Structure 1
Amino acid sequence: MKLAVRLMMLSLVLALLFGVPWWTLVSAPTGGSGTLFWIGTAIGVAALGFLPLTMFLGHGPAQSDPAVIVGDTLLGVLWVVFSWSVLGVFARGALAVAGVDGALAARLVAAGVLAISVVLVAWGVYEARRVPRVRTVDVAIRGLADGLDGLRVVVVTDTHYAALDRRRWSERVVEVVNAQQPDIACHAGDLADGSVAKRHAQVDPLAEVKAPLGRFYITGNHEYFGDAQGWIDHMASIGWEPLHNQHRVVTRDDDQLVVAGIDDPTGKGLPGHGPDLPAALSGAPDVPVVLLAHQPKQIADSAAAGVALQISGHTHGGQIWPFHYLVRLDQPVVAGLSRHANNTQLYTSRGTGFWGPQLRVFAPSEITVLVLHPER
């Protein structure tokens, strides 16, 4: 019964994702007949069969990297076309109210949706694959010692090293990170998709990050779709300190700051893993705590524990507009600095890389510099 329900839901989703663009770009502007109608319909039917096939070959037992690249990219393109096709339906309604002939309106909308989709896909690929822009944010921390004023915490997260070989991109990210002169460097999870054996060459440039007060790493949910412990061990082997429900005390000029990290909630299914904030803070001195927690929704526990600042990723800022509206249903924040109960602040990064489709539309990637100051 569960399998039948899942297949039914999958069929419904595919019908919507393909059906709305087919109606907007093929059926309505051609009047449902003619050569262009049949060519467009054939392309749609082929894509409808090709997408599930490539997704299965890429993300199923075969783990085919070429299939991942093709399938994920097709999914991203389809989402862009679907989103603007939905808007096209409303545009046709507006044109009808304005008295524009129905056939002409359908052709105008189809041309507009197609043009916008092509531009956004091209721009989205560029935005996803470029070296992220640096975003600098000043954060006032209650109780932070004066000796730690100006402490620079550089954050990368959601690098998602995967089927596309992004070793050179990784090297350039490291160059940008080092140019920010971080005191502390953090990776807030979702390091890679795949095994250490397949992806370590893309991750290894992170060994060159320079941060005199520490380089810290936590697991995201995607580590638990593969080999979480393997990635924890590998990051330790290249000089990063995994914070596996642990904390470290950072000292500068005899003033202290606690940097803690907890596992992603997905880890609960793996023995010895899963978030344990009390364990992470056990024995910590009474100074402000900066906590790495992959998902923004972990903020509720952080605020209850009196954490000064939680650093998260996970959302990608939505990655491809308007997906951020769906993300917001699951997470309290999609991006940026926010304040929560007990004076706890949360910084949610839009992520440094991308997951799945190599597109970012209206959700640019970032390398974040959090500059800490005492709250006056």
Structure 2
Amino acid sequence: MPEKRPLYGIICGYRHFTALAICISFFAIEGYLFSSVSGKTKYYLYKVHILIFVEVMFYQFSKLVWKELDKLCPEVFCAEKVWRGMVASFLFVAHLGPFCTFYMSKDPTMLGVMAWTSFAALLILSLSLGFFGALFRILNRCGMSGTAIAGICQGRLRSGICVLFTALYIWTGYLNATTPPVIIRASIPIAKLPASMNGTKIALLSDIHLGPTVGFSMMENAVKITNSIKPDIVVLAGDLTDGTVEELREAALPLKDLDAPSGSFFVTGNHEYYTSDVENWFEFLESVGFHILHNSNVKVHSKQNKKDWFCMLGVDDKEAQMMGIRYEGHGVDLKKAYSGCDDKHASILVAHQPNVAKEALDSQFPIQLVLSGHTHAGQFYPTALVVYLGNAYFYGLYQYDATSYVYVSQGVFYYGWPMRIGSHCEITEITLISS
């Protein structure tokens, strides 16, 4: 008679089937349910669905971490209980991270910052443990299981090394992410830019990500740094927010203090569409002095000679028409955005994603400069590798051809996890040079 397996054993035995079912449900819900609802309902459904997806995935990471950290448990009775309590508390707080998106206020709460930091630590610790585990299996297959390297890849030593590495990684990444944005300066020659507009300064802001770990105080400081540049123009290249106007209006209020004599301009990023509140954000941003470049353009005139101008155009983010979002009346429309510009005057395009920048430069429209963001320069490793491979431009200044350039910002802040490794928070001062 076959032995009865406990419920936990059955679930674990079918974990691959469970993962497949979750993936199928993810696309099914995005493709059908999200397309049939709108507004707040869509926003909260999206958050709940992401929450379930992430929590199920990280549950597997938590099991690995619990098992490995238990190897470091002291063999003294009281110390054993304390150690396991600390590990359990860490895992509990880490899993609270995604829940914090349901409560966002003027400034981040201490719990929210702790939860997202612990969430990042769980990811890095799991990946480092997985790396050593994979390395040991490779060595074992190669007949090298008795080597010193193989010894490091297993047991208490592996667990200890991974914990120390994760602690150092998270501490360094947190300090880097919470350091105020640095000013990066770039001078870019612009063909057909009038001589009277030589030296025009643009402050490029991108990927502020107001939300559970970025709020009013950080936004206020970023505005002060931007104003210290004394820009003629401010460009906000998308991903301002990870919540609705109702949730984050107060956090975004410092934007009204930006000082740009020739105008402040905004285009959407992908995260604006995840909020399902784009129209309300448009209304708010217009109330604090921004021109919305919704597949449209504005002629920026010289302060010295009003007859001289260049065209500032912007396109919506490409994910406006992604399955499950499909924001009516939104999406990349370069032809509409360029309408009214011409090849006798310089054109500067704002497009959140570098892949759209590449598409625009490959098109028939003569564009001298594209300003983008989106990549965060990877924010931290190993995600940086995926971001690098998935985007036409990673970060910094690129020359497309003799007369066209792309600049990709690393972002003013960061998304969710208060952590940056191999990148930093940036406000860009771009000086246009007449050529």
Structure 1 pair 38–85 and aligned structure 2 pair: CA distance change class (3 A): farther
1:176 partner amino acid? I
Structure 1 pair 167–342 and aligned structure 2 pair: CA distance change class (3 A): same
CA distance in 1 between partners of 2:347 and 2:76 (Å) = 66
Structure 1 pair 342–68 and aligned structure 2 pair: CA distance change class (3 A): farther
Report how far residue 163 of structure 1 moved: 2.5
Task: Specify the alignment match of 2:230 in structure 1.
Answer: 181
From 289, 295, 302, the equivalent of 2:360 is: 302
Task: Specify the alignment match of 2:38 in structure 1.
Answer: none
Tell me if structure 2 keeps the 8 A contact 1:157–1:187.
yes
Q: Does residue 64 of the first structure (1) align with residue 103 of the second (2)? A: yes
Task: Specify the alignment match of 2:336 in structure 1.
Answer: 279
Task: Specify the alignment match of 1:132 in structure 2.
Answer: 181
Tell me if structure 2 keeps the 8 A contact 1:302–1:344.
no
Give per-residue Cα distances to partners, 1:337-371, cap 9 Å, x unaligned.
Answer: 12336843211111001111121222211000111
Report how far residue 74 of structure 1 moved: 2.6
CA distance in 1 between partners of 2:293 and 2:309 (Å) = 18
Task: Specify the alignment match of 1:78 in structure 2.
Answer: 122
Q: Does residue 123 of the first structure (1) align with residue 181 of the second (2)? A: no
**Greater shift after overlay, 198-207 or 120-129?**
120-129
Tell me if structure 2 keeps the 8 A contact 1:91–1:109.
no
**Greater shift after overlay, 37-46 or 287-296?**
37-46
| Greater radius of gyration (CA) | 2
Structure 1 pair 335–83 and aligned structure 2 pair: CA distance change class (3 A): farther
From 292, 316, 320, the equivalent of 2:380 is: 320
Q: Does residue 113 of the first structure (1) align with residue 162 of the second (2)? A: yes
Task: Specify the alignment match of 2:258 in structure 1.
Answer: 209
**Greater shift after overlay, 364-373 or 79-88?**
79-88
1:275 partner amino acid? V
Give the number of aligned pairs: 369
**Greater shift after overlay, 140-149 or 45-54?**
45-54
CA distance in 1 between partners of 2:56 and 2:250 (Å) = 40
Tell me if structure 1 keeps the 8 A contact 2:232–2:261.
yes
Tell me if structure 2 keeps the 8 A contact 1:249–1:259.
yes
1:301 partner amino acid? E
Give per-residue Cα distances to partners, 1:134-157, cap 9 Å, x unaligned.
Answer: 111121223333322222111111
Report how far residue 34 of structure 1 moved: 8.7
Structure 1 pair 16–145 and aligned structure 2 pair: CA distance change class (3 A): farther
TM-score (norm 2): 0.74
CA distance in 2 between partners of 1:38 and 1:152 (Å) = 60
Unaligned residue ranges in structure 2 (runs of 5+)? 1-17, 27-52
From 232, 253, 262, the equivalent of 2:282 is: 232
Structure 1 pair 81–105 and aligned structure 2 pair: CA distance change class (3 A): closer
Structure 1 pair 364–218 and aligned structure 2 pair: CA distance change class (3 A): same
Structure 1 pair 131–49 and aligned structure 2 pair: CA distance change class (3 A): closer
Tell me if structure 2 keeps the 8 A contact 1:294–1:314.
yes
1:351 partner amino acid? G
Q: Does residue 244 of the first structure (1) align with residue 294 of the second (2)? A: yes
Report how far residue 40 of structure 1 moved: 6.5
CA distance in 2 between partners of 1:266 and 1:372 (Å) = 30
**Greater shift after overlay, 196-205 or 65-74?**
65-74
CA distance in 1 between partners of 2:208 and 2:56 (Å) = 32
Task: Specify the alignment match of 2:349 in structure 1.
Answer: 291
CA distance in 1 between partners of 2:268 and 2:428 (Å) = 18
Report how far residue 231 of structure 1 moved: 0.8
**Greater shift after overlay, 349-358 or 86-95?**
86-95
Task: Specify the alignment match of 2:410 in structure 1.
Answer: 350
Tell me if structure 1 keeps the 8 A contact 2:69–2:87.
no
Report how far residue 16 of structure 1 moved: 6.1
SS in structure 2 of the partner of residue 202 of structure 1? helix
Give matches, 1:31-50, under 5 Å.
none
CA distance in 2 between partners of 1:270 and 1:296 (Å) = 21
1:129 partner amino acid? T
Task: Specify the alignment match of 1:336 in structure 2.
Answer: 396
Tell me if structure 2 keeps the 8 A contact 1:290–1:308.
yes
CA distance in 2 between partners of 1:168 and 1:287 (Å) = 40
Report how far residue 30 of structure 1 moved: 7.4
Structure 1 pair 68–137 and aligned structure 2 pair: CA distance change class (3 A): same
Tell me if structure 1 keeps the 8 A contact 2:177–2:420.
yes
Report how far residue 309 of structure 1 moved: 1.0
SS in structure 2 of the partner of residue 356 of structure 1? coil
Q: Does residue 360 of the first structure (1) align with residue 413 of the second (2)? A: no
Tell me if structure 2 keeps the 8 A contact 1:88–1:110.
no
Give per-residue Cα distances to partners, 1:293-342, cap 9 Å, x unaligned.
Answer: 11111023311122111111111111122211111232112211123368
Structure 1 pair 12–270 and aligned structure 2 pair: CA distance change class (3 A): closer
Tell me if structure 1 keeps the 8 A contact 2:121–2:170.
yes
Report how far residue 75 of structure 1 moved: 2.1
**Greater shift after overlay, 33-42 or 10-19?**
33-42
Give per-residue Cα distances to partners, 1:163-214, cap 9 Å, x unaligned.
Answer: 3463122222111111111111111111112121221112111111111111
CA distance in 2 between partners of 1:302 and 1:118 (Å) = 43
Q: Give me the identity figure in percent.
A: 24
TM-score (norm 1): 0.84
1:235 partner amino acid? L
Unaligned residue ranges in structure 1 (runs of 5+)? none
CA distance in 2 between partners of 1:122 and 1:338 (Å) = 32
